[in-house]
Each structure stands twice: as C-alpha cells, then as structure tokens.
Amino acid sequence: MSQFKPRGKHLIAGEWVGGEKTFPSDPVTGPAHSFAVGTAAEVDRAAKAAEEAFWTYGATSRENRAAFLNAIADEIEARAEAITEIASQETGLPEARVNGERGRTTGQLRLFAKHIVKGEYLDRRHDPANPDRQPAPKPDLKLMQLPIGPVGVFGASNFPLAFSTAGGDTASALAAGCPVIVKGHQAHPGTGELVAEAIDAAIRKTGQHPGVFSLIQSNIREAGEALVTHPLIKAVGFTGSTGGGRALFNLAASRPEPIPFYGELGSINPQFLLPAALAARGEKIAQGWAASLTMGVGQFCTNPGVAIAVDGAPVDEFLQAAQVALEKVLEQPMLTAGIADAYRRGRDRLTGLNCIRARLASKSDGRNAGPDLLETTGDEWLAHPELHEEVFGPFGILVRAKNMDQMQEIARGIEGQLTCTLHMDEADVPLAASLMPILQRKAGRLIANGFPTGVEVSDAMMHGGPYPASTNASTTSVGTLAIRRFLRPVAFQDMPAALLPAELQSL
C-alpha cells in the first residue's frame, strides 16, 4: 500500500499552512492523524487570494479551463492507490465503493471540460440594432453568461470524493471560471488533503494563479461561518443536514450583500407503490427497496426512506418480503460516530411514537448501524408531520393508505424532495397520471419502476428539488446544468467590439 501520511495542513493559494490548534481524525481503521483547525483568519487569506486569482482566471479561455479540469482528473488518478487507502480508512467505505466514487469524480471533471469547450452554456444572444425603428431606435444588444466570482464549497460527509474537495460543486465552479475555497469535512480530512494536493499539482502544471483553489480544514463552526459571510465570496455550494444547511443559508441571506446559497439538505424520496405493480411483482419491488434502502448503510441523499401503498393483502406480502431481505443485512460502520448517534436518536424518536409499529429493529451499537423497518397508516402519517423527517441511514417506513384518494392526499402533503418514484404496471397508468401533477411540484427527479440511489452524471440530470430537499429548486448539483449556479448574465448595449468579451466579438 502507499502509506500516505497527511501533512495535516491547509492548502492556501499554493502554500501548505499549519495552525495553532489541531484536531484528530477518527478513522474506522488505520492510524489517526492531526489536522490544523481553520479559523476566520485562514478563510480571509484564502478569499483574498481567490479574489486576486479571479481577475485572470475568470477571463481565461474555455480551452485553458478544460485543460485544467482534465489535469486535475489526471492528478487524482495518479494518486489512486493512496486515495483508496486513506478514504477507506477514514470512512469505512469498501475499496470498490471508493474506487467507483473516484471514477465518478474524475468523470465529472472531464465532463465539465467537454461541456465548456462546446460553449453552449454561455447562452450567447444577439439582438441587432435597428436605428430606423419608430418611435425610438433599437439598440444593439449582446448577452452572455459570465462567472460570478470566488465560490465557497463545503465538503460532504457521505461522499469523500464526488461531493467534496474536487467534487461536483468544485468542478462546476472551476469550469465556470470561479476560484474555489473548500471547507473540508472533518470526517475525511486526509482524503481531502490528498485530493487538494492533486489540484495543486494541476494548477502548477497548467500555469493557473495559485489562488484559484484553497482547502481549509476544520472541525469547528468558525471556518464555515467565516466562509459564508466573507464579503469576497459570491456563492456557496453545500451538501449536508437540513439544520446545518439552513443555518448557513440564513447567514448567506443576512449578509450586507446577500449571496446565493445552493444547499442540498434533507429528502425522504418517497416510493409510491401502485396496485397492479404491487400485486404482480411485490416481492421483487420489496427486495429492490431493501437493497436501495441499505446501500452504503443508507447514507445517500437519495435513500428511499418511505414507501406508500393502498392497504391490502399485497401490502402484507410486500412488507414481509422487505423484512426478510432486510434481516439478511449485517450491521456496518457509518461514516462518523456523530452520524451513527444521530441515526439512533432519529430512529428512537420515531419508534417511540404510538402511531408507528416496528417490524424490524437493529441494535446499532457504537459506530455501527443496521436496518430498521416500521409501518404506519395513512391517517397517522397525515396526523404526525414528524414522521416526514429524514432519518439519515438504513431506515424505512411503509405507509398503508386507505385508498387512492388518501395516497393523493399523502402526495400533496409531502415536503420538497430530491426524487419521487412510481412503481407501476400498464394497468396503473391512469392512477399514475393522477399523481403526476402533484409529484412534479414535489421533486426534482421523477422515476418510474426504479430506485433513486445512483445519480447519473449527465446533461439531463436534475439533482435538487423544492425545499427542504434544496434551497433553490431551479438548480442542480449534479450534471452539466450545475454550472449555471456560478454564472450570471450580462448584457452589452451598443458596445464596441474591441471592448466585448472575446466570446461575443464574433457574434
């Protein structure tokens, strides 16, 4: 193995910087390491370097930025063995999962490189002048998207690579022409440092300004709050809990200059099981639900935590099949001790309610967690909004609706979601059609006869949804459309060609 030993420092504008205080990592296996605790002072230094870098990086060619993104991917792959080793130690994720996530990370970097070279994301528009128009002449107008400025990114606990240091937020912001400051997640600081090292190598290889990227390590709130409130930061990307994300969103909105905060928060990703499908293949659907529910110990933002079906004998069979499948799933370590503790508290809070019945209960001792399966009625679900709250982990609830009218009522009452799924056969199409107008208002991605875990990185992906799934329902954090979060349209009226951005001069 590679025996990578972290420096335990921040990377700020090309320099590895220590601090007065440190915090220890908490790996599932392997040695712990000490890391510098970032404060407002480190954030300020990084933000000033990012602002200085923006003057040049924001004006670089698309080809230059594409080469940079591809170089980052190359440098990550050059450290593949070391990344797999330390990420598996820190998170407990199996090597195959880490390798797959690394491939997704480099893949989306290369995808954004191809996307910006095409140039379609610039949305260039031209309304030619008409000096003879009456009653007033028409001016010449040209419009395109320009980068917004330095961006703050929060690493996610559940994706040490794809949603962290060089993840989708960082890739899309760099592709747009925005320098990035990452507040690394304390669950996997060694992984974050190693990926930051790869980015730094790519900066040097392609001749970028060193302030184009910085990594601040920290296990305290000060660094995150300083990042969101720093006057030079123009947008923030976040993936995490509803409570933490909402607190940061409020800070972003209360600044003297409010900025967009693109937060991906909580989602229960409901599954609507329609009668014909349930009667024909309920056992197969139950097995698929159990597998999706427990994938990665349930630590996916698209974990399908709730299934809703019209009560009857097929529902009994479905629930029994789901229970049998879940009983075979062994307890596994969660990403952090804090996540495991939060899982137990969330589970116990709901299982303690009189309106719910436990079908399967796990021990979930220490850092480990196993699946929990509960059931309730449609009446109780509608009467107890606390049942709608996400329990982050392998936690499932089956809701027995009285009839299709109540299923529609349940659909109308759910909060914003990343996904909603319809399990249906041809005979269910009329019922599905009655749900579609409701679900289109509730989620960013609608799925037929599948499961939401596994998010395709592509042009047509939407990974976001109405609050509390995300803080901005019109944007995505996955796929090429994510670049629009870090751009703003600028119009140029009667501007001489010599003063226009190069991308508009030939328009």
Residue 294 region by backbone torsions, left for phi larger than 0, else alpha for psi between -120 and 50, else beta = alpha
Is residue 128 helix, strand or coil? coil
Catalytic residue among 301, 375, 390, 420: 301
At position 70, the amino acid (one-letter code) is N
* Catalytic, out of 264, 375, 390, 420: 264
Say whether 395 sits in a helix, a strand or coil.
Answer: strand
Three-point CA angle 285, 298, 165, nearest 5°: 130
CB atoms within 10 A of CB 460: 9
Helix (H) or strand (E) holding 149: none
Catalytic residue status for 178: no
Angle of helix 80-91 relative to helix 62-78, nearest 10 degrees, comes to 70
Contact (Cβ atoms closer than 8 angstroms) between residue 66 and residue 114: yes
Task: Identify whether 301 is a catalytic site residue.
Answer: yes
CA-nearest of 104, 39, 60 to 212 is 60
Tokens 């700020």 sit on residue: 12
Are the C-beta atoms of residues 199 and 161 closer than 8 Å to each other? no
Question: Minimal CA–CA distance to 161: which of 218, 113, 91, 112?
Answer: 91
Report, as residue numbers or ranges, the catalytic residues: 264, 301
